[in-house]
Structure 1
Amino acid sequence: MKRNIKWSLMAASVMFLASCKNFLNEESITKLGEDKVYSDIGLVETSLKGIYANWKNVRTDEQGLIMMMGTDETQQGAFQMKSDAIKGGLDRYDANLNSTVNHIANQWNIRWPLVNESAKIIRGLESGNPAAGTKEGGLYGEACFVRGFVDLQLAMYWGEIPIRDMKRETELGFRRQPLKDVWAFIIDDLTKAATFCPKTNQPGRATSGAGWAMLGKAYMSAPESTGLRDFAKAQECFEKMMADYSLVPYKDLWDFNKPNTAEAILEFQFSPVYPNNNKIQFQIGSRAVQSYFGDGCYYSGYDKLVPTQYAYETVANGGIWEDGDLRKEESIRYDFTYYGETPTLDRISWEDLGPNHDELKPHVKKYEDFRVDKHHEMRISNMWNSGKNIPVLRLADIKLCYAECLNEAGKTNDAILVVNEVRKRAWGGTLPDDKSWKAMSKEEFRTKIMDERMRELFAEDWRRIDLIRTGKFIELVKARNKWAKESGKIQPFNTIFPIPDTELKLNGDIGPEDQNPGYN
């Protein structure tokens, strides 16, 4: 508990010390001079722990949902769309989605301190020529992993980004760099992470397995225009780490009594005790349930993020779910009956949403935490304190990525065998013959694997990246996201976000002329 508080306060200090003038140039995590901080292995360890604590903010509270809005998998609830037109732009893709949206600026701003502090650690440790297998080498690999992981997200969401290489700071400044250079930098970081990170580590910290997994994802995700997309290299990366992990029963992944399973490659560590709670349920639960049963019901909330119809319906009704798939009930809540009583919409009828009422339609279930229910022995009685671990990387994700690589190599039959391993788990260990994937074309596999990734990884924050890297973002969001479909405004340029207006004003190396096309 004391350690959790310590590192949470450390995380807060990172954000506090970040310059309001330029988030790319915030102060160090301590007030000591950088030469002292990054030459002292103990202080480097302290700095890195602060980075990890701060990194969890990306998946905490409403901040953890923003990048899941506006996809074909999840969208904002109807009342949220009606009451907040600005944030509604994240699903409607209308004129409200512009450079002044605070929600986008926040996503940009919470990531750059992580990149910047990691860059300082990397520079400091490089001066001592760290070796793999040493304490210094392990810390170096972890810092490379964080910078590489976060840069990958930034590049997927915003395109060209600054490169924070302290050795070349005079040369690079804080300018956006060409995509080829950005992705080469990401690949280099993740190569070092795979090489230098320890084989095993404390829960919540990077390992060489995590490094190989993300390096494989980087090779799959690099834009084709960079010439760096390479499914063969991605396949090799995955083959170096998959044997170190194993699939577990799907329900175990969401059991708060079983954190960091044999399938987990990296999980953000949370608990239902402040300040280490993640507050996710406070955002994704049902408002109808909250109005009926109060905060003490563990699946109460405010409908900030709900499944699209495609993500919660059966195949027969135009959705993804097949009969017998155990992932369906683990991922999505369909029944809101609470201790024998079923809530109604009566107490929120004032919302006047008409046919758009979705407070008792299916909701995200994966992050529900019964420990905060008023009937649990902990007596926390407030879904605001939800605190289950949140998966970042796990084996099933990597197996499905690996299958994509095999398919791209023309080994579709081998790819099918890998997918069926994941599907076998989804049917409790025995995959019915009619649910087993059979021979298909490479193109058919490409289509079907996207549905399989949604079934397996629903609401785990990979969908936007999956849609972008496969070139399916506009097509599938337009067809399946209720609000984007109704608006009809989504355009190809919406595949990436606008550079925040605050960055354009505060960063002397990025001006209005550098804005992503289509935005003002």
Structure 2
Amino acid sequence: MKKTIINILIAGTVICSASCKKFLNQDSLTKLDENKVYSDINLVQTSLKGVYASWLNNRVDEQGTVLMMGTDETQQGAYQMKSDASKGGLDRYDGNLNSLQGQVTTQWNLRWPLVNEAAKIINGVDKPTLQAGSVEAGIVGEACFIRGFIDFELAMYWGEIPIRDLSRESQLGLKRQPLKDVWTFIIADLTKASAFCPDKNDPGRATSGAALAMLGKAYMSAPVSTGLRDFDKARDCFEKMMGRYTLVPYPDLWDYNKPNTAEAILEFQYSPVSPNNNKVQFQIGSRAVQNTFGDGCYYSGYDKVVPTIHAYETVANGGIWEDGDVRRNESIRYDFTYYGVTPTLDIISWEGLGNDFDELKPHVKKYEDFRTDTHSGLGYNNMYNSGKDMPVLRLGDIKLCYAECLNELSRTGEAITVVNQVRARAWGGTLPSDKMWGAMAQADFRTNIMDERTRELFAEGWRRIDLIRTGLLVDRTKKYNKWTAQSGTIQAFNNLYPIPDTELKLNPQITPQDQNPGYH
């Protein structure tokens, strides 16, 4: 019977397409008395493991790249834009980006089961007498981290969202809550997580360091209108945790033989063995390579997401890359020659893309996994099996966040010193004098740090959030994203995604009148 309950608990976190209402209204994942389930700490731990396992699903295959679309950093490939008008709306910001948009609906639906189960764990285990260091406190801390992290994403992408706090369910219901209340809740969750999460944990699980990192990001990102944006509190969070981690050589971050480096704060764990593979290479590789060399070439794929020109070009050509920066060739593939053979576009000329072709222009490289190549000798033999770990939080990111906070606190000189620490790693440990950031105005720092964050964090999933929190999504995307520029229809309301139509139809407390402005 206990084994059956455990299996049901794990199955309960499997993602399906349905509305937030369905997830928020579940009586129980087990269909059993929740008091019994959540009073058994072993079952609760199993449930928590199931939430973590399902959380990995947010970053796999196409759904792991959707939130990279429509920024100044990455965009959809030309053939994808030509063949799928609905998904093309994610880059064009035209009428196809609406409440019926399937990929946006998927992103919404991926997150609510995790929030829901984390809320049940917290409600079942959290007590006023909980003592830091206990097993129960650790479970509550990790559940608060997961709920806080995912609520952070939901609030960044959709604005006002339901607050899933079972202790106040009769008061809160299933309706969207005011932004200040939402962000107060996120900050409270991450604060508790920072107090209760263990300092060390298994790879892929939350620690107090990860919680402090996210709490700092929350203080940086809370909308100004909430009164909760606080760069000094963010600075304090970062200072409390950064010393626990160490920058490692940049190539080590992308070496599958060196997972979970000393820089990793939280890293999602994958492998090239189904069902634990992330399949992301299928999305980021080149279709011209695939058509020439087949699936057994580890950088084959289907051009679902490619770098913008700004993100792959040199400074001399209007891009971001400076001579000698090792991050460039670790992040982006420029050469598609494979064992002495260079592919051409002839094999896919039928696509008729004209000057829009990009199948052999630079591609995302970070997640290429040679273990899947036929020449690796490991027998995986298909880039679909790509399974490198994927960073969620790492020290390079947090150092740059910390530098932003210092700059906003009028400590720009100190901020420049921190950025130069990150840049020194990008030049192999010793930063040439002509590459050091020197004195600059606070406003210039704000501009320059945005390009530095692309150089450091290209295609790691933070760009859209960075653009939203700094108010730069519209201007920079319109300037650097080819499809957004061609369409010319992006507007300020596109800082938020539309609430999915399924939610509006199935949740009586979120009606069409509650839709984000500008959408239908």
Question: Hey, what does 2:459 align to over in structure 1?
Answer: 459
The answer to whether the 8 Å contact 1:505/1:511 transfers is: yes
| SS of residue in 2 equivalent to 1:15 | coil
Match runs of 1:200-215 below 5 Å: 200-215=200-215
**C-alpha distance in 2 between matches for 1:30 and 1:197:** 26
Gaps of 5+ in 1: 1-5
Question: What CA distance in whole angstroms lies between the structure 2 residues aligned with 1:27 and 1:276?
Answer: 30
- Matched-pair contact (CA < 8 Å) for 2:423–2:431: yes
Partners of 1:169 and 1:21 lie apart in 2 by 13
Partner of 1:137: 137
How far apart, in 1, do the equivalents of 2:8 and 2:334 lie?
35
How far apart are residue 127 of structure 1 and its match? 3.7
Structure 1: which amino acid aligns with 2:99? S
Asked if 1:306 corresponds to 2:310, the answer is no
Listed as ranges, the matches of 1:216-231 within 5 Å are 216-231=216-231
2:434 aligned partner: 434
Tell me how far 1:34 sits from its aligned partner: 1.2
Any conservation in 2 of the 1:19–1:25 contact (CA below 8 Å)?
no
C-alpha deviations, 1:295-328, integer Å up to 9, x for none?
0000000000000000000000000000000000
Match of 1:89 in 2: 89
User: Structure 2 vs 1, CA of residues 321 and 425 (structure 1 numbering), >3 Å: closer, same or farther?
Assistant: same
Q: Does 1:194 align with 2:200?
A: no
Q: Is 1:247 matched with 2:260?
A: no
Counterparts in 2 of 1:473 and 1:13: CA distance versus 1, 3 Å? closer
**Partners of 1:38 and 1:128 in 2: how far apart?**
16
Residue matched to 2:385: 385
2:48 paired residue number = 48
What per-residue deviation string (whole Å, max 9, x for no partner) do you get for residues 179-219 of structure 1? 00000000000000100000000000000000000000000
Partners of 2:52 and 2:337 in 1: CA distance: 38
TM-superposed CA distance for 1:21, in Å, is: 6.4
1:151-197 Cα distance to aligned partner (Å, 9 max, x none) = 00000000000000000000000000000000000000000010000
Distance 1:485 1:389 in 2: 34
Question: C-alpha distance in 1, partners of 2:168/2:12?
Answer: 29
C-alpha deviations, 1:95-151, integer Å up to 9, x for none? 000000111110000000010000000111124732111111001000000000000
Change in CA separation of 1:162 and 1:391 when aligned onto 2, cut-off 3 Å = same
Output aligned runs, 1:10-89, within 5 Å.
10=10, 14-15=14-15, 22-26=22-26, 28-89=28-89
Which amino acid in 2 is paired with 1:118? A
Query: Could you say what secondary structure the match of 2:392 adopts?
Result: strand
1:291 paired residue number: 291
Amino acid at match of 2:71: T
Any conservation in 2 of the 1:17–1:28 contact (CA below 8 Å)?
no
Note if contact 2:280-2:367 (Cα within 8 Å) is conserved in structure 1.
yes
1:437-457: CA deviation from partner (whole Å, max 9, x where unpaired): 000000000000000000000
Q: What's the secondary structure of 1:265's corresponding residue?
A: strand
Does the 8 Å contact 1:130/1:140 carry over to 2?
no
Identical columns (%): 72
Shift of residue 24, structure 1, vs aligned partner: 2.7
Q: Distance in 2 between matches of 1:167 and 1:7?
A: 27
- Worse overlay, 102-111 or 13-22: 13-22
8 Å contact 1:93–1:489 — kept in the other structure? yes
- Residues 482-520 of structure 1 deviation map (CA, whole Å, 9 limit, x = unaligned): 000000010110110000000000011100000000000
Query: What's the secondary structure of 1:392's corresponding residue?
Result: strand
TM-score normalised by the chain length of structure 2: 0.97
Report if the CA contact (8 A) 2:8-2:30 is conserved: no
Asked whether 1:412 is paired with 2:412, we answer yes
**CA distance in 1 between partners of 2:111 and 2:424 (Å):** 37
Rounded Cα–Cα distance in structure 2 between residues aligned with 1:267 and 1:136 = 23
Q: Residue 317 of structure 1 aligns with which residue?
A: 317
Question: What is residue 484 of structure 1 aligned with on the other side?
Answer: 484
Aligned-partner SS, 2:320:
coil
Distance 1:502 1:389 in 2: 33
2:146 maps to 1:146: yes
SS of the equivalent of 2:336 reads: coil
Is the 1:19–1:27 Cα contact (8 Å) retained in structure 2? no
What is aligned with 2:421? Answer: 421
Q: Which residue of 2 aligns with 1:3?
A: none
2:271 paired residue number: 271
**In the aligned structure 2, how far is the partner of 1:11 from the partner of 1:70?**
33
Is 1:18–1:27's contact at 8 Å kept on the other side of the alignment?
no
1:473 aligns with 2:487: no
Distance 2:170 2:442 in 1: 47
Pair 1:353–1:198, CA change in 2 (3 A): same
- For 1:395, the equivalent position in structure 2 comes to 395
CA 1:487–1:17: 2 relative to 1, 3 Å: closer
- Measure, in 2, the Cα distance between the counterparts of 1:74 and 1:391: 18
2:3 corresponds to which residue?
none
Deviation, 1:7, is: 9.4
Q: Whole-Å Cα distance in 2 between the matches of residues 98 and 16 of structure 1?
A: 21
What is the CA–CA distance in structure 1 between the aligned matches of 2:181 and 2:217, rounded to whole Å?
17
CA distance in 2, matches of 1:292, 1:213: 44
Q: CA deviation at 1:17?
A: 11
Give the paired residue count.
515
Question: What are the superposed Cα offsets for residues 9-31 of structure 1, whole Å, 9 maximum, x if unpaired?
Answer: 93675336978962333454434
Residue type matched to 2:73 in 1? Answer: E
Q: Aligned partners of 1:153, 1:121: CA distance in 2, in Å?
A: 20
Task: Identify if the C-alpha distance between structure 1 residues 44 and 481 changes in structure 2 by more than 3 Å, giving closer, same or farther.
Answer: same
Is the Cα–Cα contact under 8 Å of residues 8 and 53 in structure 1 kept in the other structure? Answer: no
Tell me the distance in 1 between the aligned counterparts of 2:13 and 2:451. 41
Instruction: Name the aligned partner's letter for residue 247 of structure 1.
Output: L
- Conservation of the 8 A alpha-carbon contact between 1:11 and 1:53: no
Q: Secondary structure at the match of 1:174?
A: coil
Q: Check the 8 A contact 2:13/2:113 in 1, yes or no.
A: no
Cα distance, 1:320–1:288 mapped onto 2, change above 3 Å: same
Distance (Å, rounded) in 2 between the aligned partners of 1:71 and 1:25: 34
What SS does the aligned partner of 2:483 have?
helix
Q: 1:357 is matched by which residue type in structure 2? A: F
In structure 1, C-alpha distance between the alignment counterparts of 2:24 and 2:330, rounded to whole Å: 40
Q: Distance in 2 between matches of 1:132 and 1:13?
A: 27
Q: CA deviation at 1:35?
A: 1.0
Runs of 5+ consecutive residues of structure 2 not aligned to the other structure: 1-5
Report matched runs for 1:163-174 at 5 Å.
Answer: 163-174=163-174
SS at match of 1:267: strand
SS of equivalent residue, structure 2 residue 50: helix
With over 3 angstroms needed to count, the CA separation of the structure-2 counterparts of 1:290 and 1:396, relative to structure 1, is: same
When residues 7 and 316 of structure 1 are mapped into structure 2, their CA distance, relative to the original with a 3 A threshold, is farther
Q: 1:62 and 1:19 mapped to 2: Cα distance?
A: 20
Q: 1:16 to 1:95 in 2, by over 3 A?
A: closer
Residues 29 and 47 of structure 1 are in contact (CA less than 8 Å); yes or no, is this contact kept in structure 2? Answer: no
Secondary structure of 1:119's counterpart equals: helix
Cα distance in 1 for residues equivalent to 2:28 and 2:267? 26
**Aligned partner of residue 376 in structure 2, secondary structure:** coil
Question: TM-score, normalising length from structure 1?
Answer: 0.97
Distance 2:113 2:370 in 1: 34
